Amino acid sequence: MNDELHAGDFTGNDLHALSSRLTDLADAPAPPSPFDPARVAAVGRRRVLATRASAVGGSGVLAVAAVFGIVAAFAPSAPSAIAAAAAPRSGIGADPLVKYADFGWLPDSLPNVSYEAPIKREDSDVVAQGNKSPEGAPRVDLQPLPGDGPGGPNAHERMIPVTLDDGRKAYWVTQSGNQGQFAGFFQLRFPSKEGRWFALAWDVNWNESPASVAKISGVPLNSAASADNAPPTSVPVSAQWQATLLRIATQVNDTPVPVPMPFSVAGLPANFQPDKAFLWRPAAFGDGAPGTWSALLTFDSDVGTVTIEVGPHGSVSKTKDDKCKTSAGLDACVELAGKVAGLNEVGGPKGLLKLLTLLGLDEKQWTTNVIVP
C-alpha cells in the first residue's frame, strides 16, 4: 500500500500535499472504497494527540483538522449521500454510540468487535478482527453505502456478481494498482434483509506488510502487479474466506441499537456535545492486547479536539498533560489538543472529568443513558 494515506505521516509542512491527494480521491465517482477513513481518523487522532499541541494554529492542531477532513473528503457527493449525512439521528435517546448494523454471525477467528458512530449521522462503522500474531490478523469493516443500491465501480475497480447464502444478489469489488498487489482491501457490497446496502471490506489489521496479508489470505503475493494493472478478475482471498465473508454478510442485522458504555457524563452545555463515540476491542483503536477494550467520546472544533477515554485500570495511556481519575476499577482521562468551544463552561479538562461517572468492569452495569442533562 505505497500510496495509502497515513494520518500520522503529515505535518504542517506537507498539508498541501495531503489536501491535493484528498481532492483527487474525492473527485472519484464511485461509492466509498475499501479505504477506511474512520480508521485513518482514529489512528490520526491517537498520533496527533500524542504530540499534545499547545498552540492554536500549530501544526498539531492543523493535523487534527486535516485528519478529520478525510471523512468528509471521501464521502460521495451525490445528493442522496448528502441528504443521508444531513438527516438527524432518531430514536437513540441519551446514547451517543448507536450501531445501525451489526454482525449476526462471525467465525471464531474474528472474536473482537468494535463500534464507531458519528453523532450527527445515521451511520456507523462496525469492525471485527482477530487477535494479532507476528503475521497480523484478519479483520472486516462493515459500513453502510450511500443511496439505495450498490453504486458503480470507478476506473480502478471491478464489480463481480455473487449471491449471498440465501440468494440475495451482491457484488465483490476488487481494485487495481497497489490495492491489487496482494490479497485484501476489497469489498463485498450487499443488501441487508431490510434492503439497505452495505460494504463489507476485508483486510489485515493496520499497516501490515503485503507478505503478511498474503499469508493470512491464502493467496500468493503478486509481485508483478503495478498501479497500471487492471482490477483483479477474481476475489483475492481463498475460497474458504470467500465463503466465510458471504456467510457474514448474509446474517448482518440492520436495526439501530444503542451500545452500552462504561460511563455517563452529566451537565454538558448545549455548545459542548460529543461528535463521535467509540468502543474498541481490543483497546488502542484495535492495536491493544487481546482481551482489552477502551471507550471514547470526542468533541471536535475547527481548532481542537477533546477526548474522553475510559478503560480498565492501568490500560489507558497517560501523559503529564492528561487529566485522569480512577474509580470502580476503571481509569478515565481527558485529553485536549487546541481549543474547543464550551469546554471552559464545564471548568476545562478537570471540570469535565468531574462530570464523569465510571460504572465499573461489569458490562451488565454499563448504560445507554450516557449523556445526562
Residue range 258-275: average pLDDT?
A: 93
Phi-psi map region of 354: left, alpha, beta (phi>0 left; psi -120 to 50 alpha): alpha
Whole-Å CA distances, 265 to 21, 255, 354, 360, 366: 38, 26, 9, 14, 13
Long-range pairs, 24-29, Cβ under 8 A, ≥24:
25/73, 25/74, 26/73, 26/74, 26/77, 28/154, 29/76, 29/152, 29/154
Amino acid at 80: S
Beta strands 323-327; 157-163: pairing state: unpaired
User: What per-residue confidence (pLDDT) applies to 332?
Assistant: 96
b/e sequence 331-347, b meaning 16+ C-beta within 10 Å: bbbbbbbbbbebbeebe
Cell reading at 320: 503529564
Amino acid at 29: P
* 242 has pLDDT over 70: yes
**Which one is predicted more confidently, 252 or 83?**
252
User: What per-residue confidence (pLDDT) applies to 324?
Assistant: 94
**Which one is predicted more confidently, 80 or 150?**
150
User: What per-residue confidence (pLDDT) applies to 94?
Assistant: 85
Beta strands 263-266; 371-372: pairing state: parallel
Least confident of 21-25, 171-175, 181-185: 21-25
Residue range 171-192: average pLDDT?
A: 78
Q: Across all residues in the chain, what is the average pLDDT?
A: 75
Model confidence pLDDT, tens digit, residues 25-58: 444 444 444 434 344 444 444 333 333 222 222 2
Model confidence pLDDT, tens digit, residues 312-362: 999 998 777 789 999 999 999 999 988 888 899 999 999 999 999 999 999
Q: Give the Cα separation of 199 and 9 in Å (integer).
A: 27
Can you give the length of the chain in residues?
Answer: 373
User: What per-residue confidence (pLDDT) applies to 190?
Assistant: 97
Q: Give the Cα separation of 306 and 95 in Å (integer).
A: 18
User: What per-residue confidence (pLDDT) applies to 19?
Assistant: 40
User: What per-residue confidence (pLDDT) applies to 199?
Assistant: 95
User: What per-residue confidence (pLDDT) applies to 184?
Assistant: 59
Collapsing DSSP states into helix, strand and coil, what is residue 8?
helix
Model confidence pLDDT, tens digit, residues 59-106: 222 222 222 222 222 233 233 332 233 233 333 458 999 998 999 999
Q: How confident is the model at residue 177 (pLDDT cuts 50, 70, 90)?
A: low
Q: How confident is the model at residue 236 (pLDDT cuts 50, 70, 90)?
A: confident
Q: Give the Cα separation of 361 and 241 in Å (integer).
A: 34
Question: Angle, nearest 10°, between helix axes 15-26 and 59-73?
Answer: 10
Q: Euclidean distance between the first and final Cα of the chain, in Å?
A: 46
* Dihedral (CA of 60, 296, 22, 120) sign: negative
pTM: 0.75
Question: Angle, nearest 10°, between helix axes 37-50 and 59-73?
Answer: 170
